[in-house]
Amino acid sequence: MIIRQKGFLSSIFSLKFAILCYVAFYVNKSVTLFGYRHNPDTLKIKHFDEHSCTKLLFDVGAEDIATSTNGIAFITSGLVYAPFVMSEGGGKIYTLDLSKTTPELTELALTGPHLNPHGLDIFEDDGEIFLYVVNHGDNMSRETVEKYKVNRDLSGLTWLKTFADDNIFRNINDLNIIAEDEFYISNNFHAKQDTPWLRKLEINSNMLMGSIAYCNGDDCELKTYPTLAFPNGVQKRGNELFVALSLANYRAVYEINSVNKDLTFKRNIALEVVHDNIWMNKNGDMYIGGGTNYGDHILHGKPIGSEIYKIPAGSYQAEQIYFDDGKEFRQCSIAVEWENHILMGSPGADFMICTRK
């Protein structure tokens, strides 16, 4: 009886400790979302004053951007990702030729299945460009990755293949191509759209059930446990995979096993922002877009602000290079710096191009 009582008390203590840890996490995340910073200087307005900026794609968004080696930017627009983004106008892919002094947006003609685009990435081979796009389907019906071949005259995309795995593809946000038909994906959540009450519970309770998966052709497998805090942008640099954990105050870095592509956690990079996608230039410098002012947005209806951080090649130190309270640009999800141009995208707001004066 005494042994049973000790076991019972131990279980009660463990339960209380688990609840305390969860409450601490929830409070920490709420404080972060509502704008608290360890370094108040990161809340000061910081714009690209040496550039002239122009907004495009009003209120339909430009969630992600990928660039080819010759400076063609590919942009996803029209994302519907309930309950966070509900753009109108349908899914589209645009291009922007960054080699030009004044680049102009061009909408690409699409073939293949209905496209509700989220993250995207590029694979280039012998002058050909292949585009891989996360697709949530019509009305969030199914999670897939679509593969396209870019027409040489940049007039459109020819659909080639759909990658799908209903067990592994839960709620895909982003992907990073490491070879043709070989890529990592991020699952924001574990509960899928066909179980809306579970998904709502997972979102509202701040459960940590996101994951990273790896696909080689049609063979896909999880490479982390479903315990991550809203994994978002993913980017390979060298033998490491950088993962944006939007509901955590850090970006996780994993070491990639060169044989089986398993991931081993290596370190965290502190970031006091709800960070989103990652863009990396040819030198290995990484740019991270993120949103801020979520508390004022929820309580007072103020616009969600924007931030951009840069992690130089070979470094793990993130430097803030842009901050706005939402008056110039709302809810940045991706940032690209290409020669004289800086591009900023947003899930459901605008797209902005800034050109050096």
Domain harbouring 184, CATH code: 2.120.10.30
- Sign for the CA dihedral angle at 322, 326, 329, 333 comes to positive
115 and 17, same domain (yes or no): no
pLDDT at 1: 43
pLDDT value at 236 more than 70: yes
Is residue 219 classed as helix, strand or coil in its secondary structure?
strand
162 and 77, same domain (yes or no): yes
pTM value is 0.89
pLDDT top residue among 93 and 292? 93
CA distance readout (Å), 206 to 61, 200, 246, 281: 25, 10, 11, 33
- Sign for the CA dihedral angle at 82, 88, 168, 261 comes to negative
State how beta strands 156-163 and 109-110 pair: parallel
pLDDT value at 182 more than 90: yes
pLDDT value at 272 more than 60: yes
CA distance readout (Å), 40 to 90, 115, 289, 333: 39, 41, 19, 22
* Whether the Cβ atoms of residue 72 and residue 56 lie closer than 8 Å to each other: no
1 and 81, same domain (yes or no): no
Domain that holds residue 11: 1-33
Structure tokens at 148: 């396209």
29 and 41, same domain (yes or no): no
112 and 66, same domain (yes or no): yes
121 and 38, same domain (yes or no): yes
**Count of domains for the chain:** 2
248 and 130, same domain (yes or no): yes
119 and 265, same domain (yes or no): yes
324 and 282, same domain (yes or no): yes
Distance CA 258, CA 314 (A): 19
196 and 248, same domain (yes or no): yes
Lowest model confidence (mean pLDDT) among 67-76, 78-87, 314-323, 332-341: 78-87
Portion of the chain with pLDDT greater than 90, in percent: 66
76 and 6, same domain (yes or no): no
